[in-house]
Structure 1
Amino acid sequence: MENNSKKYDKNLYKRLLRYAKPYLLYFISAIAIILVIVVLELYQPVLLGDAVDTFLSQYGSKGNPVLLDRTQDIEGVVKIGGIYLLTVIIIFFLNYAQALILSFAGQKIIYNIRMEVFANLSKLSLSFFTKSPIGKLVTRVTNDTEALNEMYTSVIVNVLKSCFVLVGIIITMISYNLRLSLYTFTVIPFIMLFTFIFQNVSMKIHRNIRSKISGLNAFVSEHVSGMKIVQIFAVENEVLDKFKNENEKLRNEHMKQLFTFSIYTPTNFLMNITATSILIWFGGKMVLEGIISIGTIVVFQRYISKFFEPIQELAEQLNIIQSAAAASERIFDLLDEDQEIKESENPVEMDEFRGSIEFKNVWFSYKEDEWILKDVSFKVNPGESIAFVGATGAGKTTIQSLICRYYDIQKGEILIDGINIRDIRISDLRKNIGQMLQDVFLFSGDIKSNIRLKNENITDEEIFEASKYVNADNFISRLKNKYDEHVIENGTAFSSGQRQLISFARTLAFKPDILILDEATANIDTETEVLIQDALRKIMKNRTTLIVAHRLSTIQNSDKIIVMHKGEVREEGTHQELLAERGIYYKLYKLQYEERGHTSL
């Protein structure tokens, strides 16, 4: 199991690097700049060593005295100081240039990843969203993608820089003195051991942190959306306790992370002091023996300091890489999520429908062997209005969802204009079917944007016309900003009836060939319903319409009524025909009739 995890991690990093491939030139440029920076940084200690040996020490190489004119000493020191300052300035501007290049490339990569994640998210079937908390999905699109940003903008190239610096220091130190180098390198195995342990512990913590953040976001999203229920039942304290528990879990993971770093960083510092102590002990002896110069000690001391800087940086960069890996696991899980509703290899393009619909022996279940529809067959002719009635769970709403192909059936066929809906291009299928649901969702923006829904082909005049058609203009025209009135998320500032009227206008603006009304008038008051019914009579004319309604009084004029019972079609006919049969429909109608205070039909 562990081996599989390691293999998966390798594939994970390869996959992350693929996103950087289109910007390879940027990364090559940054690496070239960093190579120059590394050379200059490695040259700086050499300048200091030369200054000490040539101008500040009484002894040159192997203890031989060096006597120079004091003016020459000053000029020499100033010259070396000027060169050192020049390297500092050049390094500053080169660092700025490579940071700019990497930031540009990194932001483009993150933009592309975020677009890919959201695009894939929008193609997933409704069944995926019913089992996935919204807060966790939001975390993947925002927080998790942002966690990758620093990896691309700094880590990838700076890891190479740290490696270049380490290799350069080792080679340069060996070229100065192999024996003294080997003494100071005795700390390297311990550093590698501590870093390996740190990496493994830190990776587990990062995975837990990403998971806890996702869970906390999901909790907040769910309870903010359901805050009205929380307050109605006065369970604020219980919810707060649950939030405290989730928050505590996240804090504990962060504390583990801090604890891990609080051990690793001082350990790294201890190794630095140990290496310096080894240098002073053995290097001092070698200076006294005339084997090396004081300048060499200075060079080694500077290199030892620089040696531990990239190691510390590598640990921090490793931390970022692990955070990015943990985030990318979650992102790729989402990108790899199977799109249950797949486009046909050669989809049929249909700009408009005539409006015939046919179910042929359709079987469907959300869960295996728990059939919601059982061998359902019926036919709707173009322009007909068909109503579906039955008890809750009979399969009425499921039929509407299957026609729009939000789910795929297990057996049978669904045909529109004689073509299997699996063969019709999904975008054509859905844009030609207008759905008006009981629960209306409005997006933040204004009324016009909620009717247009980003479709710029719908003009303002068409929006006004559709609104007047469904009598939505009656209340919109009384608003302060009319069609530019601000809408907050889900349109909570509007009544249920007003939101429904906007939904009707939205559907009509898209000019669908087939209409689906799923309890579309359930939340509308009697006065508003009169206006809606008037509009419906007009928009249903010469347009195939499927209606789901519990109030049977709203469907009496339908061309045909289909009675569903436990996933099967049990009765078909007009209102009067079904009443005459005295079956399920008759019982339902009689029950509703008596609830209104009537004693007979």
Structure 2
Amino acid sequence: MSDNIKKRKESLKGSSDQILRRGPRPGGGRGPQGMMKGESAKDFKKGIGRLLRYMGKYRYTVLVVFVFASFSTVFMILGPKIMGQATTKLFEGIMAKIAGTGEIDFASIRRILLLTLGLYGISALFSYIMGWIMSSVSADLSYRFRKDIAEKMHKIPLRYYDGNSHGDVLSRITNDVDTINQTLSQTLTQMITSVVTVAGVLVMMFSIDWRMTLTALLIIPLSMGTVAFIVKKSQKYFKRQQASLGHVNGHIEEMFSAHIIMQAFNGQEKSLEEFGVFNEELHESAWKSQFLSGLMMPLMMVFGNISYVAVTILGGWLAVRNMITIGDIQAFIQYVRNFTQPLTQIANISNVLQQTVAAAERVFEFLDEEQEIAEKENPVKPDTIRGEVEFKNVRFSYNKKDPVIRDFSAVAGEGKKIAIVGPTGAGKTTMVKLLMRYYDVDSGAILVDGMDIRDFTRKDLRNNFAMVLQDTWLYNSTVRENIRYGRTDATDEEVEKAAGAAHVDHFIHTWPDGYDMIINEETSNISQGQKQLLTIARAILADPRILILDEATSSVDTRTEVLIQKAMDGLMEGRTSFIIAHRLSTIRNADLILVMNEGDIIEQGSHEELMGQNGFYADLYNSQFEHVTI
């Protein structure tokens, strides 16, 4: 391996450790490596308590499950005791036949066996009902989790998504919720059955002989102490495993969404290196958690066998002295097996439970994220919007130490075309985000028709806007439905009319199935420029009062740009329009051009006025038309 690759791996390793060790972050919670001593146990108790409270809606249903589990277990527990009677009858009959004083009572043995068979049948029926009910509960709980997450996704500020991996969020919705679902549908009923079995078997064991029971119970402190020790050690690795899984998913999602770009820049090796580091983190935490929790089953089996041997020796000694019957010994040995088996299951369940609690914590971390600022209790609801927009001393920063907009003031008159230009990082797109209330200003105000946009509900405010962004967004549906997304009640004729206005109609008719063609990741016969035209058609269909175009023509050729410009001129007629553009030739006919630099307006006016000033705008404009002759 080359020195560069080794250095790269060390760098990635350090970055990965920082991700997992760092303190509270937006949506990420605290990394398990950074937990203080004893915090793992506290988190486990807190996590399982929160999960139980979330399940409070199903407490009566779970109670019914507990009743069915109890009856199922009781009938199962009675089986060995009754079977012991059959063994005693058979033994006594054999001894009587040898002594010549009687015969084997097969009729009594048959009745006992039929009774035992009936008990086991009823136990199986109750067990089936219990499993069916619990499956319904787990499915409904998973539905609630995903529903709450989906609702939360629309309430979390955009700031959260700017600072967190999309793959990690998806992992919480899919992997973590699935882990909880599987535990509840399979493990919870097993836990209830195991607990009831331990209690019931203990009663039956005492009913046979207290000395043998105490001998069997000597193993419990040792086994429970072992389980508690292993759970304490392994919980931090289960939390790290769930966090690492989110990082792996995030990396995969990023690489596949930009697969073409990655190949274009020969980034396969770098991608594999990064994946290798995240995958190694997942592997390390997974094998440690599984190894530690996997120790419980064999250790419990060893403890159970020790108990089994001790009980067998003591039972034989008691039988020789006629203190118990042969059938009691046979039944007791079965009970010992039935007693150690649920203890082993409980130990094994603790393995799954730790992973489930870790998954639940990640889901609850997302649900506990800070939401957007609440809407006004009595929001303004004007009948119509004219479209006058005013920025009054707006200040804004993504982080308090580095302001992006310092003191922005401007007025966009009703129906005017306002262009915002400036170098990269000047704050142009940020102004659009503030206008749409994706973020709220730190100070100052943005007014629409004299009303502060914070006095509107976000839904009412955004109903008056339509946006066309530089990055196209089309979802997995037909071309027609993608255009109709601008106004869901639009007719097919209106959709096609909007497509014609955006000069995309003639393209659509050349595609397979035309307007009914499905757009997805595999659609390769649509260019980036054509996708942009579809989003422009969507904005035309929305028929907004205020239009925002953020580099809307950056992905089309010059000829198509001219066509779009004509369509846009018609669309913007009578509407307030904000145009962000790097290609200054597209905004020469704007009513007002705002020139931004480092968060401030440094020049403003029409194209002719700004060119006459021979300032920053003129230099920026002329630089785009300079030709170097070689």
- The answer to whether the superposition gives a TM-score over 0.5 is yes
Provide the TM-score with structure 2 as the length reference: 0.89
Q: State the AA in 1 paired with 2:283.
A: R
Q: Which runs of 5+ in 1 are unaligned?
A: none
Question: For residues 585 and 515 of structure 1, do their structure 2 counterparts lie closer, same or farther at Cα, with a shift above 3 Å needed?
Answer: same
Deviation at 1:358, TM superposition (A): 0.8
Deviation at 1:312, TM superposition (A): 1.8
Distance in 2 of aligned mates of 1:245 and 1:67: 78
Deviation at 1:70, TM superposition (A): 6.9
What secondary structure is seen at the aligned counterpart in 1 of 2:154?
Answer: helix
Deviation at 1:151, TM superposition (A): 2.7
8 Å CA contact 1:515–1:545 kept in 2: the answer is yes
Question: For residues 454 and 298 of structure 1, do their structure 2 counterparts lie closer, same or farther at Cα, with a shift above 3 Å needed?
Answer: farther
1:20 lines up with 2:52 in the alignment: no
Deviation at 1:56, TM superposition (A): 2.4
Q: Give the match for residue 54 of structure 1.
A: 89
Alignment partner of 1:150 out of 153, 164, 182: 182
Q: Give the match for residue 199 of structure 1.
A: 231
Q: Give the match for residue 489 of structure 1.
A: 521
Distance in 1 of aligned mates of 2:525 and 2:51: 44
Distance in 2 of aligned mates of 1:443 and 1:397: 23
Q: Give the match for residue 398 of structure 2.
A: 366
Distance in 1 of aligned mates of 2:238 and 2:88: 49
Question: For residues 22 and 350 of structure 1, do their structure 2 counterparts lie closer, same or farther at Cα, with a shift above 3 Å needed?
Answer: farther
What secondary structure is seen at the aligned counterpart in 2 of 1:440?
Answer: coil
Alignment partner of 1:43 out of 78, 81, 86: 78
Alignment partner of 1:277 out of 296, 309, 324: 309
- Report sequence identity in percent: 33
8 Å CA contact 1:442–1:489 kept in 2: the answer is no
- Which moves more between the two structures, 23-32 or 33-42? 23-32
Q: Give the match for residue 232 of structure 1.
A: 264
8 Å CA contact 2:94–2:104 kept in 1: the answer is no
8 Å CA contact 2:135–2:185 kept in 1: the answer is yes
Q: State the AA in 1 paired with 2:369.
A: E
Deviation at 1:124, TM superposition (A): 2.0
1:115 lines up with 2:179 in the alignment: no
Distance in 2 of aligned mates of 1:194 and 1:430: 59
1:264 lines up with 2:296 in the alignment: yes
Q: Give the match for residue 4 of structure 2.
A: none
8 Å CA contact 2:41–2:232 kept in 1: the answer is no
- Which moves more between the two structures, 262-271 or 517-526? 262-271
Distance in 1 of aligned mates of 2:591 and 2:489: 34
Distance in 1 of aligned mates of 2:98 and 2:133: 48
Q: Give the match for residue 425 of structure 1.
A: 457
What secondary structure is seen at the aligned counterpart in 1 of 2:556?
Answer: coil
Q: Give the match for residue 584 of structure 2.
A: 552
Q: State the AA in 2 paired with 1:24.
A: R
8 Å CA contact 2:550–2:580 kept in 1: the answer is yes
Question: For residues 53 and 363 of structure 1, do their structure 2 counterparts lie closer, same or farther at Cα, with a shift above 3 Å needed?
Answer: same
Q: Give the match for residue 433 of structure 2.
A: 401
Q: Give the match for residue 567 of structure 1.
A: 599
Question: For residues 475 and 183 of structure 1, do their structure 2 counterparts lie closer, same or farther at Cα, with a shift above 3 Å needed?
Answer: same
What secondary structure is seen at the aligned counterpart in 2 of 1:523?
Answer: coil
Question: For residues 75 and 495 of structure 1, do their structure 2 counterparts lie closer, same or farther at Cα, with a shift above 3 Å needed?
Answer: same
1:457 lines up with 2:489 in the alignment: yes
Q: Give the match for residue 29 of structure 1.
A: 64
8 Å CA contact 2:425–2:598 kept in 1: the answer is yes
What secondary structure is seen at the aligned counterpart in 1 of 2:295?
Answer: helix
Q: Give the match for residue 190 of structure 1.
A: 222
How well do the aligned residues superpose, as a CA RMSD in angstroms?
2.4
Alignment partner of 2:207 out of 157, 175, 197: 175
What secondary structure is seen at the aligned counterpart in 1 of 2:218?
Answer: helix
8 Å CA contact 1:360–1:377 kept in 2: the answer is yes
Distance in 2 of aligned mates of 1:526 and 1:70: 111
Q: State the AA in 1 paired with 2:125.
A: F
Question: For residues 348 and 489 of structure 1, do their structure 2 counterparts lie closer, same or farther at Cα, with a shift above 3 Å needed?
Answer: farther
Q: State the AA in 2 paired with 1:239.
A: S
Q: Give the match for residue 301 of structure 1.
A: 333
1:216 lines up with 2:251 in the alignment: no
Question: What aligned pairs does 1:383-398 form with structure 2 within 5 A after superposition?
Answer: 383-398=415-430
1:443 lines up with 2:475 in the alignment: yes
Q: Give the match for residue 250 of structure 1.
A: 282
8 Å CA contact 1:466–1:505 kept in 2: the answer is yes
Q: Deviations over 1:520-564 (max 9, x none)?
A: 011110121121011101100111100111121111111111111
Question: For residues 410 and 261 of structure 1, do their structure 2 counterparts lie closer, same or farther at Cα, with a shift above 3 Å needed?
Answer: closer
Distance in 2 of aligned mates of 1:432 and 1:233: 41
8 Å CA contact 1:491–1:499 kept in 2: the answer is no
Q: Give the match for residue 314 of structure 1.
A: 346
Deviation at 1:301, TM superposition (A): 0.6
Distance in 2 of aligned mates of 1:512 and 1:178: 84
What secondary structure is seen at the aligned counterpart in 2 of 1:405?
Answer: coil
Question: For residues 68 and 524 of structure 1, do their structure 2 counterparts lie closer, same or farther at Cα, with a shift above 3 Å needed?
Answer: farther
- Which moves more between the two structures, 166-175 or 513-522? 166-175
Question: For residues 243 and 253 of structure 1, do their structure 2 counterparts lie closer, same or farther at Cα, with a shift above 3 Å needed?
Answer: same
Distance in 1 of aligned mates of 2:203 and 2:195: 12
Deviation at 1:9, TM superposition (A): 3.2
Q: Give the match for residue 98 of structure 1.
A: 130
Deviation at 1:326, TM superposition (A): 0.6
Deviation at 1:8, TM superposition (A): 3.9
8 Å CA contact 2:40–2:235 kept in 1: the answer is no
- Which moves more between the two structures, 338-347 or 442-451? 338-347
8 Å CA contact 1:107–1:149 kept in 2: the answer is yes
8 Å CA contact 2:93–2:103 kept in 1: the answer is no
8 Å CA contact 2:248–2:278 kept in 1: the answer is yes
What secondary structure is seen at the aligned counterpart in 1 of 2:590?
Answer: coil
- Which moves more between the two structures, 136-145 or 445-454? 445-454
Q: State the AA in 1 paired with 2:57.
A: P
Question: For residues 346 and 155 of structure 1, do their structure 2 counterparts lie closer, same or farther at Cα, with a shift above 3 Å needed?
Answer: farther
Distance in 2 of aligned mates of 1:320 and 1:501: 51
- Which moves more between the two structures, 49-58 or 464-473? 49-58
Deviation at 1:397, TM superposition (A): 1.2
8 Å CA contact 1:212–1:250 kept in 2: the answer is yes
Deviation at 1:68, TM superposition (A): 10
Q: State the AA in 2 paired with 1:34.
A: A
Distance in 2 of aligned mates of 1:470 and 1:441: 16
Q: Which runs of 5+ in 2 are unaligned?
A: 1-35
Distance in 2 of aligned mates of 1:293 and 1:508: 91
Q: Give the match for residue 577 of structure 1.
A: 609
Distance in 1 of aligned mates of 2:153 and 2:88: 66
8 Å CA contact 1:53–1:59 kept in 2: the answer is no
Question: For residues 595 and 87 of structure 1, do their structure 2 counterparts lie closer, same or farther at Cα, with a shift above 3 Å needed?
Answer: farther
Provide the TM-score with structure 1 as the length reference: 0.93
